[in-house]
Chain A
Amino acid sequence: MKRLPWRVLVIAILGACLSCAMPPKKPSRPKPPPGSRMPPVTSPSSGTSAQRSASESLIQQGTQAMDQGRYEESTDLFQEAVSVDPSHGAGYYHLALVKFKTGEWEEASNLLEKAETLLAEEAGWTERLEELKRQLHESQPP
């Protein structure tokens, strides 16, 4: 009997350490009022991982092109990324980014707005979105 609490303590400490080491959880959804439920937020498109993966590959290629100054090519690739997976916010974000770089600010704003709605529930995007938003705001004529 005396040993049990000791083991439990060790396990508890280990458990606490593990949960600290785990990556930050996605912001938890607000609970629905009692007696109701919530429908899925961003439903996966059919074959989600496949389309998402293809989209990510295109974004990767597009980012490479953009970094090398090949803006037209990157625009094409980002558009293709959106087309193959329109639920992938990153596609809109990158398209907004290249539109910003080429001075098409109104289009960039509209695309960024869409990206924000799709990426709101995904971790790690807030900073980038805010940054581009800020840059766009500064560029717009008063």
Chain B
Amino acid sequence: MSVKTLLGFFFLGALVMGAYLFTLDYKIRTKFEAHRWNLPSRVYSDAFLLYPGQKINLADVERKLQRLSYKRISALPKSVGEFYRAGADLFVTLHNFSYPSGDFSGFPVKLEFSTDGLRSITRTDKEENLRTLKLEPERIASIFDEKMEDRTLVSLTDIPEELTDAVVSIEDERFYSHHGVDPKALLRAFLTDLLHLKKVQGGSTITQQLVKNYFLTPEKTLVRKFNEMLMAILLETRYSKEEILEAYLNEIYFGQRGPVSVTGIEEGSRFYFSKNAADLTLAESALLAGLIRSPGEYSPFQNITRAYDRRNFVLKSMREKEKITQEGYEAARKEKIVLPQGNARVFQASYFIDFVQSELRENYSADILKSQGLKVFTTLDMEAQDIAEESVERRLKELEEGRPKLKKLSQEGKILQGVLVAMQPQTGAIRAFVGGRDYETSQFNRVTDAHRQPGSAFKPFVYLTALSLEGGGRWTLASPLEDKSFSVPLGRKGGKDWRPQNYDDREHGAVRLREALEQSYNIATAKLALEVGLEKVVDLARQAGIESPMEPYPALALGAFEVTPLELARAYTIFPNQGTRSEPMGITGVVTRDGVVLERKTFKIKKVVSRELAYLINSALRGVLDRGTGSSARALGFTGLAAGKTGTTSDYKDSWFVGYTTDLLALAWVGYDEGTPTGLSGASGALPIWSRFMQKTNPPGASQVDFPATDNIILVKIAPSGKLHKSSCGEPFEEAFLRGTEPTQWCDEEGP
């Protein structure tokens, strides 16, 4: 072979090599510089406000702290995220948290409790009494891409030096001096392999590991190994040690949480210690560093002894390299590994998360949600949510087991479904949201997407319209109605007349307006609606927020049209909110991972009717619970002051209860998706879900507050006929009236 040919081959080889290196380099640059990781978006619950005088006890707060992954310890807390109970006092070291409006730096607090509740809040590092204190929101869900890597980026400046020292010391001791590949380490690895000695340190540098995980596929071929080494060297020529280390720490795999892989030091830190990486102690840093080699093997969740051994081995290695002092070493060795509890739940409030996602998708593509690491803040109260889910599941089970008809249907494969949605009436903030019985079986979100007939749950809007006419002068709660059978020719070709019937198939004759609503008489209601004018009823219902199609046919009065549960709940907010309607609100803010606020929402309200009219309906709907179709709630244990309405459809396909206190409105529904009749009334199906939920979410004594009136409301004693009461006319009833509309005739007087 001539020199020329040899040279030719050499140049060709060099060219090929050059081109190859160029492509590798290009790959490195484009991916590395773009920091292209897909970061899941995070959804948070509402924050929890504490204030002196609050009716909350120590156990409640402790429970909340545990939900937030604070660790209970047996001495005064020193480390972030711990709490200690001393008699009636709770000492807590608060977590840091980034709110949309700014960062909160945690500090130590003392919460003093008495028999009445929370007595005082003191910031112990400054001996300062606080008038309010927010406990950070819970992270309730993450929106992942297909890879399902749970990762939160952290910068090197936020990582303690001990952690980086631990990682370097155990994974790549000569990290700072080599140029991407460590020949000594490679040699040693080769020899240990050869001699089948236990691998103390792998041969790969941190840079090589990064390349392997970040850029390449995990095959174990020689070619891949060669590429890996080349790319590691290239990487080191382009980027600093700090940049490489930072990328490595954000890339590394730390274990599994169900179907999701815990990746990056920040999530690793949260997973094993419920802390931010910035707050890790030396011992904790050593444990995490030790996990990198084999998270499954060294996980303290799997084998605590092995975890201790591995951690201490890392500490020893650090001591040998003089990265830590002897005292530091000994103290860290002795440190106990305290594992977080209650961190296991992978799926929570799934229907609500879907609801949030569908709202988000109006402004952000699915791609962005899965990759940009947005932070979404919501109104959800996780404790209320848990109670809601349990109440729905429990009642549905009870019904299927206790009722032969439902048992049979369940055996035939029909699944009885239920819904519960709860909101703060004045702001529309959604506190609990259950769209079905079991998300994994059926993701169909009934709260927003089920179109069902409200049946008698619609009646309050008929009565509200009646009371609103002529400034309240036409009908009052005492007005007489005739619950006597009648029919309406529907004027359709060959059609029958419409003849409404009561649930008990009886006619009740002359009743007062209030009674007809409390007892949910169909006939009286239908008659009233026709006299009031169906268009007027539709009009008011629209103003209250019912957007679904409504036709002014007589059956409208009995709720024979379809609505979604959320729509109905929204319309009901006008009652506890004194005539003003509030929009259901799930999201309060959206923030980028860098803290830039993309969206901030305020609650939306609109006045629909006067406060007086709302008061009158509230008064009548209180009667539903005290005397009427909802009175079984009392026997079920709900003793608070509340108002509500049962809803039953004519063929028993739907069972509703919508009820509220001054603080909370909740709607429950039971039925089959296919529309199979359940045979359940509002009281037997939905009401027990509602009353259990309300009973458990309201602190005792909270719902004894009456709905506020105005100066235009007066209470007058009336006789059964509706006229002014005299002892000769039987039992008096104290009725509420708009001033000027009260009866003027005595009960023993003749005439209308």
Contact = CB atoms under 8 A, between A and B. Distances in A.
Given A36-B714, A45-B663, A113-B607, A107 B708 contact: no
Contact of B53 (A37, A49, A99): A49
Given A46-B55, A72-B600, A83-B427, A58 B714 contact: no
Interface stretch (B182-190, B229-237, B697-705): B697-705
Interface stretch (A12-20, A26-34, A129-137): A26-34
A58 B134 CA distance: 11
Given A54-B131, A79-B427, A37 B706 contact: no
Contacts of A87: 662, 708
A37 B714 contact: yes
Interface string B557-595: 000000000000000000000101000000010000000
B101 A41 contact: no
Contacts of B578: 117
B136 to A, nearest CB: 14
A63 interface: no
B715 A36 contact: yes
B716 A35 contact: yes
A95 B602 contact: yes
A58 B50 CA distance: 12
Contacts of B615: 39
A94 to B, nearest CB: 12
A49 B131 CA distance: 12
Contacts of A30: 711, 739
A38 B580 contact: no
B518 interface: no
In which size bucket is the chain B interface? 35 or more
Given A45-B705, A46-B704, A37 B102 contact: no
A76 B701 CA distance: 29
A79 B705 contact: no
Given A72-B100, A84-B49, A114-B607, A47 B54 contact: yes
A43 B51 contact: no
B132 interface: yes
Contact of B51 (A42, A54, A107, A113): A54
Interface in A28-82: 29-30, 32-33, 35-47, 49-51, 53-54, 57-58, 70, 72-73, 75-77, 79-80, 82
B427 A50 contact: no
Nearest to A91: B426
Contact of A110 (B100, B605, B708, B711): B605
B101 A44 contact: no
B724 interface: yes
A90 interface: no
A111 interface: yes
A107 B716 contact: no
A111 B356 CA distance: 25
Contacts of A72: 100-101, 597, 600
Contacts, number: 134
Contacts of B54: 47, 50-51, 54
In which size bucket is the chain A interface? 35 or more
B714 A32 contact: yes
A110 B387 CA distance: 33
A114 B742 contact: no
A57 B429 CA distance: 21
B29 interface: no
B705 A43 contact: yes
Contacts of B662: 43, 45, 87
B717 interface: yes
B695 to A, nearest CB: 15
A32 B427 CA distance: 33
Contact of A46 (B101, B702, B713, B742): B702
B51 A84 contact: yes
Contacts of A70: 101
B52 interface: yes
B702 A82 contact: no
Contacts of A84: 49, 51, 132
Contact of A53 (B53, B117, B711, B724): B53
B724 A41 contact: no
A39 B709 contact: yes
A73 B707 CA distance: 32
B709 A40 contact: yes
B727 interface: no
B704 A50 contact: no
Contacts of A40: 706, 708-709
A37 B711 CA distance: 11
Name which of B580, B711, B739 has the most chain A CB atoms within 10 A of its CB: B711
B312 interface: no
Contacts of B498: none
A42 B101 CA distance: 32
A121 B526 CA distance: 39
Given A38-B713, A50-B51, A82 B600 contact: no
Contacts of A80: 49
Given A41-B709, A43-B662, A83-B424, A53 B131 contact: yes
Interface string B186-223: 00000000000000000000000000000000000000
Contact of B426 (A36, A38, A86): A86
Contacts of B714: 32-33, 36-38
B736 A110 contact: no
A38 B703 CA distance: 21
Nearest to B706: A43
Contacts of B742: 33, 36
Interface string B11-41: 0000000000000000000000000000000
B634 interface: no
A70 B52 CA distance: 27
Interface in B416-466: 424-427, 429
A41 B711 contact: yes
Nearest to A98: B602
A76 B137 CA distance: 15
B600 A75 contact: yes
A57 B131 contact: yes
A47 to B, nearest CB: 5
B716 A36 contact: yes
Contacts of A35: 716-717, 724
Contacts of B724: 35
Nearest to A84: B49
B603 interface: yes
Name which of B102, B427, B602, B736 has the most chain A CB atoms within 10 A of its CB: B602
Nearest to A52: B53
B604 interface: yes
A134 to B, nearest CB: 19
24 contacts: A33-B742, A35-B717, A36-B716, A36-B717, A38-B714, A39-B715, A43-B662, A43-B708, A47-B117, A50-B51, A50-B52, A51-B51, A54-B49, A57-B132, A75-B600, A75-B602, A79-B602, A82-B603, A83-B49, A86-B663, A87-B662, A87-B708, A117-B611, A121-B711
Given A37-B714, A46-B701, A57-B132, 13 more contacts: A32-B739, A35-B716, A38-B713, A39-B706, A39-B736, A54-B132, A58-B132, A80-B49, A82-B426, A83-B49, A86-B424, A87-B708, A117-B611
Interface of A: 29-30, 32-33, 35-47, 49-51, 53-54, 57-58, 70, 72-73, 75-77, 79-80, 82-84, 86-87, 95, 99, 107, 110-111, 113-114, 117, 121
Which 9 pairs across A and B sit closest by C-beta, in order of nearness? Answer: A50-B53, A54-B51, A86-B426, A57-B131, A73-B101, A39-B709, A36-B716, A36-B714, A76-B101
